[in-house]
Amino acid sequence: MKKFENKWIRAAIPALLMHCSIGTVYCWSLLKESIANYIGRTNGEVEWAFSIAIFVLGMSAAFCGKLVEKDIHKSSLVAAICFPVGLAGTGFFIYQKSLIGIYICYGIIMGIGLGVGYLSPVKTLMLWFDEQKGLATGLAVAGFGLAKVIASPLMEALQGATNADGTLVDPSRTYKMFFILAIIYFVMMFVGHLLLKKPEGWVEESVKTQGVNPLAIFKNKTFFGIWLMFYINITCGLALISQEKDILTFIGFGAVGLISSVTAIFNAGGRLFFSAWGDKLKDRNTIYKIIFILSIGFTAMTIVTNGINNKMAPLVIVLLCVINAGYGGGFSNLPTLLSDRFGMKNISTLHGLALSAWGFAGLSGNQLSAFIVSKTQSYNNVLYVTLTLYIVAMLISLVMVKPEDKPQH
């Protein structure tokens, strides 16, 4: 029926349903300790499940770009199956106390659902919202950020009460929770899959004649510059976001759950705000410059005021909010920056290839900060490293992604 053929029902709502589901991957910090305790492993061993999931997300997005380009219904169905199956499998292998099983289900199977599910709605949104591409993609990936806000209290409720030392009163509720979440997110993602549809009359150009050679595109200075600054922004973001709970505990801030929700709101808000702002700018790369300037400024300010300590708790919390906002804004501006530089005909393929940076950052970001903290027992050293990386990203944005480098079509 014609009344159901509009951009909200066929693009925005399905995108939000899918991204609000897969975005719960960022609730991992709320789960890893209870999983580690239940299966008798260390937090560090269990942490690799998240790293593998983000790596597979990036790789599946990179290799499935052509599938998404060719058939969004097949790709969204793959996501709607893989993500919940991965969740349910994780619950089963927690019950079995199998770390390898958790790696396979949470890391690989769910990771494929993450990558394909993240990519599937983006081009459809950009086609429906042709005049407001940034707002549209920002709206979708804001759902990815909001997922943590919505899912965190649900997960805490499903896990139940904790003892004085923070362990669960009923540890078995950990694996049972995954089964419940698998059902909830399957329903949400399957409905999104059914609703998702490109505008009437849109015909894809031949993938065979218009395909993108991955090796060739990485030789393009502009694309490689975008890939590098995106990679650095995620690496720095994950380095701090993955330590968020521990940092708040270190500075003696009791309301960890509250601040976690606040930073998640900034993460989602940054995705929407920065992408909508980008629609009004002559060059969308300016948004990345603004993100890097804010990140450099607040990280430097925290360092010069004696770093991460209980006396400067408000500034530390502000820093976490700024980093989360810039982290989210980097995601929402990526597809629109790519479309500005390279056009729309292969945007799903290009976006997928660029998201491979997310996969590599998933291996380097949280592992980098964990390594620094374990070797130096100092969160301030994490700030020194991320400050340096943000400066490098700023230079890349200035030198490699200039407007005059836009390829001709």
| Tokens matching residue 54 | 């983000």
Encode pLDDT of 278-335 as tens digits.
989 989 999 999 999 999 999 999 999 988 887 888 999 999 999 999 999 999 999 9
Same domain, 143 and 277: no
Per-residue pLDDT band for 214 (boundaries 50, 70, 90) equals low
Residue 229 lies in a domain: yes
Q: pLDDT at residue 84 above 50?
A: yes
pLDDT of residue 142: 84
Same domain, 145 and 260: no
Bridge partners, residue 162, by sequence: 168
Rounded to whole angstroms, how far apart are CA atoms 383 and 209? 47
Do residues 119 and 65 make contact, with C-beta atoms less than 8 angstroms apart? yes
Domain boundary among 167, 196, 225: 196
Sign of the Cα torsion 384, 390, 391, 392 reads positive
Same domain, 164 and 285: no
Q: Scanning the structure block, which residue is given the tokens 């890391």?
A: 107
- Mean pLDDT of all residues in 221-243: 94
Number of domains in the chain: 2
* Amino acid present at 91: G
Residue 252 lies in a domain: yes
Between helices 256-278 and 133-159, what is the axis angle to 10°?
Answer: 170
Rounded to whole angstroms, how far apart are CA atoms 65 and 70? 9
Residue 33 lies in a domain: yes
Per-residue pLDDT band for 32 (boundaries 50, 70, 90) equals confident
Same domain, 219 and 81: no
Q: pLDDT at residue 235 above 60?
A: yes
Residue 205 lies in a domain: no
Same domain, 285 and 366: yes
Residue 155 lies in a domain: yes
Rounded to whole angstroms, how far apart are CA atoms 160 and 168? 7
pLDDT of residue 140: 74
Rounded to whole angstroms, how far apart are CA atoms 204 and 210? 10
pLDDT of residue 43: 84
Per-residue pLDDT band for 246 (boundaries 50, 70, 90) equals confident
CATH of the domain at 320: 1.20.1250.20
Closest of 68, 339, 65, 72 to residue 199, by C-alpha: 72
Domain boundary among 196, 228, 262: 196
Same domain, 7 and 96: yes
Per-residue pLDDT band for 8 (boundaries 50, 70, 90) equals confident
pLDDT of residue 213: 64
- Range with the poorest average pLDDT among 56-65, 86-95, 210-219: 210-219
Same domain, 172 and 77: yes
Q: What is the span of the domain harbouring residue 358?
A: 212-409
- SS3 sequence, the chain? CHHHCCHHHHHHHHHHHHHHHHHHHHHHHHHHHHHHHHHCCCHHHHHHHHHHHHHHHHHHHHHCHHHHHHCHHHHHHHHHHHHHHHHHHHHHHHHCCCHHHHHHHHHHHHHHHHHHHHHHHHHHHHHHCCCCHHHHHHHHHHHHHHHHHHHHHHHHHHHCCECCCCCECCCCHHHHHHHHHHHHHHHHHHHHHHHCCCCCCCCCCCHHHHCCCHHHHHCCHHHHHHHHHHHHHHHHHHHHHCCHHHHHHHCCCCCHHHHHHHHHHHHHHHHHHHHHHHCCCCCCHHHHHHHHHHHHHHHHHHHHCCCCCHHHHHHHHHHHHHHHHHHHHHHHHHHHHHHHHHCCCCHHHHHHHHCHHHHHHHHHHHHHHHHHHHHHCCCHHHHHHHHHHHHHHHHHHHHCCCHHHCCCC
Who has greater pLDDT, 64 or 396?
A: 396
Rounded to whole angstroms, how far apart are CA atoms 285 and 254? 38
Same domain, 7 and 94: yes
Rounded to whole angstroms, how far apart are CA atoms 383 and 388? 9
| Tokens matching residue 168 | 């669960």
**Residues contacting residue 12 through CB under 8 Å, at least 6 positions apart:** 125, 128, 136, 139, 140
Same domain, 260 and 178: no
Residue 202 lies in a domain: no
Residue 207 lies in a domain: no
Rounded to the nearest integer, the mean pLDDT of the chain is 88
Closest of 193, 331, 263 to residue 27, by C-alpha: 263
- Mean pLDDT of all residues in 338-344: 89
Residue 6 lies in a domain: yes
Same domain, 55 and 176: yes
Domain boundary among 161, 196, 231: 196
pLDDT of residue 203: 62
Same domain, 159 and 219: no
Q: Scanning the structure block, which residue is given the tokens 């790293």?
A: 51
Rounded to whole angstroms, how far apart are CA atoms 406 and 366? 33
Same domain, 221 and 339: yes
pTM: 0.84
